[in-house]
Amino acid sequence: MNKHLYLFTVGFFYAHSLVAQVNHGARLTAMGNNGAAVKDIWGVAVNPAAIAYISSPMIQITQQEHFFTNEIRNQALVVAIPFKNLVFGLGLQRYGISAFQNNKVGIVITKAFGPKLAIGLRANYNQLKISNYGATVGISVDLGTIYQLTDELCLGFYINNLTKEAYRTKTIHTSLPTAAYFGIAYRTSDKLLIASTISKGVVATGIDYQLIKAFSIRSGLSLNPFTHYFGLGFNPLKFLIDFAFTKHPNFGYSPQLTIGYVF
């Protein structure tokens, strides 16, 4: 089968799976895609409440290559800007190939209700483009919360597509994913963070260990399917560079790079 035809066929018949792709940034990816309870700028794309305690404007961009071909790419950009007692976020994501593209723009507003509780809301503009079938758009809304139970333990919960929107045209009909995620993050010390997330029977666990100042190592795993994750993080001064590698049992390795800056 022609390579491009094969990629298109995979995209068309697994449209729901591709639409569900969310880029977590290399740090959270390396931790097993654990973002439900981890306070990180990539809450712009994952749990919108997770950006509530950001104190300075920041930006990060990332690119992840697909397992079995570099023609399928997952690219994203996130921005977080604190303003008075709110934090605003903007996220852009693109996933797919030229014949099958899933694009998403998310706008986030998050508020912290004291040092323990934060609630975030995200409005998404989703676009699905399939060659020879046209394009369609859908609007979805996500809601998330973060609760700092103790100094060490943080709980997180978020749900995507609250109103269960779908893409519907004469030629394209597929659902936008609706899923709930619950996570915990436990900081055993200033150096070690352990996080876990569960959703629809899928369990993921990961760690972030600061080996020395400005250098971290990360690892994680998820079940169903059993997938390994590994990554490194460099954070000198205001710059950030994160690497992640995902090892799928059938498709092999998928590399990811994230770079960022804090203003």
pLDDT tens profile 127-143: 888 877 778 888 999 99
**Region for residue 26 given its phi and psi (left: phi exceeds 0; alpha: psi -120 to 50; beta: otherwise):** alpha
Supply the pLDDT for residue 12: 43
3-state SS, 76-130, equals EEEEEEEECCEEEEEEEEEEEECCEEEEEEEEEEEEEECCCEEEEEEEEEEEEEE
pLDDT of residue 177: 83
Tell me which of 111 and 175 has the higher pLDDT: 111
Range from 11-15, 89-93, 120-124, 148-152 carrying the lowest mean pLDDT: 11-15
- The rounded percent of the chain whose pLDDT value lies above 90 is 66
Among 100, 40, 6, 70, which Cα is nearest to 258's? 40
Nearest to 202 by CA among 219, 231, 185, 225: 225
User: Is residue 170 pLDDT above 70, yes or no?
Assistant: no
pLDDT of residue 242: 97
pLDDT in tens, 212-225: 989 999 999 998 88
Q: Worst-scoring range by mean pLDDT, 13-17, 98-102, 179-183?
A: 13-17
Residue 41 has pLDDT above 90, yes or no: yes
